[in-house]
């Protein structure tokens, strides 16, 4: 779905957007209300509207007042020969289905349009025609055609012929409820069609009318038609500012807010805000939305499960979605050993499970974690988390028996060292810590993100990760891979650890696992998962049946080879464009990541790698949002912009989003250069 327009002025509550499958029942009822005398055989049914979306999603639009459908249009593409017109409505829809749709047709053919009688006179029909004209421009068609009924002729048929009525309307002597409005929009009459539609209000007559691609329709924008981004107000706009003010009054000051975007709807990779702006989402809910916003299969699974039962608690009873999802994760998580899975509410809670189970299994207290790591905000996971100033300041004391070790970030290789020497040094520090800081026999687990998220998308050097695995094996230490952010396709493979050819003992997942629903998981060696005593693990909401149903659909989508291939292609595009930023603007110190999990780090000096300030980076984020893309910061110094787009994003949308972000970087870089001069 790419079209979303909030009608301005007195029509402030009305929205024009592309039709979704869940609108179909309302559309069937709307047609009955709009055309009460139309023969039932010629009415579209809910199944037909769903078929329209399947055949030609770009051409289906609804007008909404809240969630209520108050207007709609259905279109198809066709080749139209205006010199040989003789078709009927039945010919076009062929029994109610758009089977006459021609994917390469050069005209947009309007097969249906209707506005709830209570909403007529509010510009909805013109707005729907404007949406159709943007489709014409977007797809490079010749224009739009429709056979509009002359809905006033039925009452006049006893005193004049259809031809005379038609000519009178065209000349402006007669005002027809439908055709006069269409001519006012800019349609040109081409022919009077007899026996077109089985409806007495028009005595079966209709008029073939056409709107050329050169014609402007009120509310239609050629600029918006050729892009995904649609900006009608500043961001935040007036509605957004009101809601942000309410948020500030009602919620704690410490609740972070990366942008001033206020969301009304979201679909795929697009966010539609409360002021009618459309933005490209490059933040993806901080990596939650690998399958995009509101994917149809996931939405359907959630609805179907909610209709059965919303919750019973896995501690009380057993249900299929929990068991089936555990079976699927046991199958796909790396490792040929026997595996089990437990579910939690979040990534942080899942990390806690992993630590608890490792301690129970080994009988040891200590946990080794790494600088830059982010593992959550509960007491235990915050104790494991790095980046003290942002996440931990003032929240201590923290949990004991935690050893934090440095990890090589090759971008910040110390002067006088090669990258390989720096990795060697990091490995030696790891080995030395098992002598100087903690005895191996006291260590229950080592936990690491294969690609560190909050630290600034730092891929762990393969040799470091391999040595970690060797030390865990040598000393009976559990190796935990935290893939809350970097898992489920985010790096172009199902799990980031697969890039290394290393198998952890436990793998923690969340975020994109649930496609936006709150769920986390620990999957790994069955003997570790079984270590807890009966009743030792579990929680009220862990593995909610609705969240499990969503996760099953999300995992099914993500694990498809074509999905992962597309993700890798997005990563290639991102790396190519972002390396161009590095070539063009000295403030871009580094571009890094794995697959489509990419980040740009900003510096004040490339030679010294002095980090840009968080405020300078925030200027880039704000400028990017003003340009129509949603991004957010990352990095130990909060000097990076991270990109976590939905992995379903079309390549042309990604290119547009990257261009908008690039303009933001250029704007800030230019100002900084001017200030230095």
**pLDDT at residue number 223:** 93
Q: Is 260 found in the same domain as 333? A: no
Residue pair 643/268 in contact by the 8 Å Cβ criterion: no
Residue 48: both structure tokens together: 């037909």
Nearest CA among 421, 414, 486, 412 for reference residue 636? 412
| CATH number, domain with residue 74 | 3.40.630.30
As a whole number of angstroms, the distance between CA 554 and CA 513 comes to 7
Q: Is 512 found in the same domain as 421? A: yes
Q: Is 189 found in the same domain as 99? A: yes
Alpha helices in 559-613 (DSSP H): 561-584
**pLDDT at residue number 99:** 66
**pLDDT at residue number 44:** 84
As a whole number of angstroms, the distance between CA 509 and CA 482 comes to 7
Residue 23: both structure tokens together: 């609108």
**pLDDT at residue number 126:** 94
Does the pLDDT value for residue 10 go beyond 60?
Answer: no
Give tens-digit pLDDT for 581-590. Answer: 999 999 999 9
**pLDDT at residue number 292:** 97
As a whole number of angstroms, the distance between CA 450 and CA 362 comes to 23
Does the pLDDT value for residue 636 go beyond 60?
Answer: yes
292 located within any domain: no
**pLDDT at residue number 244:** 97
Residue 353: both structure tokens together: 């499970």
Q: Is 208 found in the same domain as 107? A: yes
Q: How many domains does the chain have?
A: 3
- What mean pLDDT is predicted for residues 422-448? 97
- What mean pLDDT is predicted for residues 508-537? 97
Domain boundary among 538, 559, 580: 559
Lowest-confidence segment of 383-392, 427-436, 470-479, 558-567 by average pLDDT: 383-392
**pLDDT at residue number 112:** 80
Strand partners, 594: 597
Give tens-digit pLDDT for 469-489. Answer: 999 999 999 999 999 999 999
State the pLDDT confidence band at 11, using cuts at 50, 70 and 90. Answer: very low
126 located within any domain: yes
Q: Is 491 found in the same domain as 372? A: yes
**pLDDT at residue number 37:** 87
Does the pLDDT value for residue 273 go beyond 70?
Answer: yes
23-27 long-range contacts, CB within 8 A, separation 24+? 23/49, 23/62, 23/69, 23/72, 24/49, 24/50, 26/68, 26/69, 27/62, 27/69, 27/72
103 located within any domain: yes
| CATH number, domain with residue 340 | 3.40.640.10
Residue pair 631/266 in contact by the 8 Å Cβ criterion: no
Q: Is 263 found in the same domain as 380? A: no
């994109």: which residue's tokens?
512
Q: Is 484 found in the same domain as 581? A: no
231 located within any domain: no
230 located within any domain: no
Determine if residue 72 is left, alpha or beta; phi over 0 gives left, psi from -120 to 50 gives alpha, anything else beta: beta
For the chain, the average pLDDT equals 94
As a whole number of angstroms, the distance between CA 539 and CA 323 comes to 16
232 located within any domain: no
Please indicate, yes or no, whether the overall pTM of this predicted structure exceeds 0.85. yes
Residue pair 24/35 in contact by the 8 Å Cβ criterion: no
Q: What percent of the chain has pLDDT over 70?
A: 97
As a whole number of angstroms, the distance between CA 142 and CA 77 comes to 11
**Cβ-Cβ contacts under 8 Å for 607 (sequence gap 6 or more):** none
553 located within any domain: yes
Q: Is 282 found in the same domain as 394? A: no
As a whole number of angstroms, the distance between CA 156 and CA 36 comes to 19
Residue pair 31/25 in contact by the 8 Å Cβ criterion: no
| CATH number, domain with residue 597 | 3.90.1150.10
Give tens-digit pLDDT for 97-144. Answer: 566 789 999 999 998 889 999 999 899 999 999 999 999 999 999 999
Domain boundary among 529, 559, 589: 559
Q: Is 637 found in the same domain as 550? A: no
Domain that holds residue 614: 238-287+562-676
Domain boundary among 559, 574, 595: 559
Residue 299: both structure tokens together: 């939405």
Residue pair 354/480 in contact by the 8 Å Cβ criterion: yes
Give tens-digit pLDDT for 588-635. Answer: 999 999 999 999 999 999 999 999 999 999 999 999 999 999 999 999
**Cβ-Cβ contacts under 8 Å for 36 (sequence gap 6 or more):** none
As a whole number of angstroms, the distance between CA 339 and CA 324 comes to 14
Q: Is 553 found in the same domain as 567? A: no
Nearest CA among 227, 288, 266 for reference residue 488? 288
Q: Is 607 found in the same domain as 540? A: no
664 located within any domain: yes
| φ/ψ of residue 517, rounded to 5 | -85, 150
Q: Is 90 found in the same domain as 17? A: yes
DSSP one-letter string for 280-341: EESSHHHHT-TT-BS-HHHHHHHHHHHHH-S---TTT---HHHHHHHHHHHHHSS-SS-EEE
**pLDDT at residue number 39:** 82
As a whole number of angstroms, the distance between CA 592 and CA 382 comes to 26
């489709």: which residue's tokens?
135
């Amino acid at each position: 779905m790419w079209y979303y327009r909030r009608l301005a002025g007195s029509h402030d509550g009305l929205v024009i957007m592309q039709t979704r499958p869940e609108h179909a029942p309302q559309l069937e009822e709307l047609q009955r209300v709009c055309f009460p005398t139309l023969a039932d055989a010629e009415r579209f049914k809910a199944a037909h509207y769903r078929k329209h979306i399947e055949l030609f999603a770009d051409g289906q639009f609804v007008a909404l007042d809240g969630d209520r459908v108050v207007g709609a249009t259905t279109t198809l593409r066709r080749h139209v020969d205006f010199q040989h017109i003789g078709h009927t409505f039945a010919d076009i829809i062929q029994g109610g289905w758009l089977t006459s749709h021609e994917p390469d047709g050069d005209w947009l053919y309007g097969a249906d349009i209707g506005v709830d009688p209570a909403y007529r006179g509010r510009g909805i029909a013109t707005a729907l025609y404007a949406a159709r004209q943007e489709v014409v421009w977007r797809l490079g068609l010749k224009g739009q055609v429709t056979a509009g009924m002359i809905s006033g002729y039925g009452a006049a048929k006893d005193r004049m012929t259809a031809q005379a009525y038609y000519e009178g309307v065209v000349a402006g002597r007669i005002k027809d409820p439908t055709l006069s409005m269409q001519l006012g929009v800019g349609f040109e009459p081409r022919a009077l069609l007899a026996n077109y539609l089985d409806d007495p209000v028009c005595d079966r007559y209709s008029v073939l009318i056409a709107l050329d691609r050169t014609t402007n329709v009120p509310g239609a924008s050629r600029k918006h038609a050729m892009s995904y981004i649609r900006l009608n107000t500043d961001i935040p706009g007036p509605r957004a500012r009101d809601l942000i003010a309410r948020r500030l009054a009602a919620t704690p000051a410490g609740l972070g807010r990366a942008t001033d975007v206020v969301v009304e709807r979201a679909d795929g990779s697009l966010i539609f805000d409360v002021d009618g702006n459309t933005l490209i989402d490059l933040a993806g809910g901080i990596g939650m939305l690998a399958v995009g916003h509101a994917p149809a299969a996931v939405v359907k699974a959630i609805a179907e499960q909610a209709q059965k039962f919303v919750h019973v608690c896995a501690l009380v009873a057993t249900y299929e979605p929990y068991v089936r999802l555990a079976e699927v994760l046991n199958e796909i998580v790396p490792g040929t050993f026997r595996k089990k899975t437990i579910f939690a509410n979040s990534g942080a809670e899942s990390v806690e499970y992993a630590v608890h189970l490792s301690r129970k299994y080994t009988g040891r207290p200590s946990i080794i974690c790494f600088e830059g790591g982010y593992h959550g905000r509960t007491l235990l996971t915050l104790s494991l988390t790095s980046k003290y100033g942002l996440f931990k300041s003032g929240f201590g004391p923290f949990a004991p028996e935690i050893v934090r070790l440095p990890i090589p970030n090759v971008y910040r290789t110390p002067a006088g060292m090669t990258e390989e020497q720096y990795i060697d040094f990091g490995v030696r520090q790891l080995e030395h810590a098992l002598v100087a800081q903690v005895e191996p026999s006291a260590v229950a687990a080592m936990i690491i993100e294969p690609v560190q998220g909050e630290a600034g998308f730092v891929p762990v050097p393969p040799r470091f990760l391999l040595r970690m695995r060797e030390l865990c094996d040598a000393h009976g230490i559990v190796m935990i891979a935290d893939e809350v952010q970097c898992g489920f396709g985010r790096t172009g493979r199902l799990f980031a650890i697969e890039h290394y050819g290393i198998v952890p003992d436990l793998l923690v997942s969340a975020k994109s696992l649930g496609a936006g629903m709150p769920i986390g998981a620990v999957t790994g060696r069955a003997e570790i998962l079984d270590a807890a005593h009966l009743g030792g693990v579990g929680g009220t909401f862990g593995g909610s049946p609705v969240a499990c149903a969503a996760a099953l659909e999300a995992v099914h989508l993500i694990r498809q080879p074509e999905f992962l291939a597309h993700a890798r292609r997005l990563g290639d595009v991102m790396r190519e464009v972002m390396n161009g930023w590095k070539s063009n603007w000295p403030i871009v110190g580094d571009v890094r990541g794995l697959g489509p999990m990419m980040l740009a780090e900003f510096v004040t000096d490339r030679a010294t790698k002095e980090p840009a300030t968080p405020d300078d980076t925030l200027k880039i984020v704000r400028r990017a949002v003003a340009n129509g893309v949603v991004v957010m910061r990352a990095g130990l110094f909060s000097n990076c912009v991270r990109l976590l787009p939905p992995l379903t994003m079309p390549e042309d949308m990604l290119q547009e989003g990257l261009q908008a972000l690039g303009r933001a970087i250029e704007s800030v870089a230019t100002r900084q250069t001017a200030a230095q001069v």
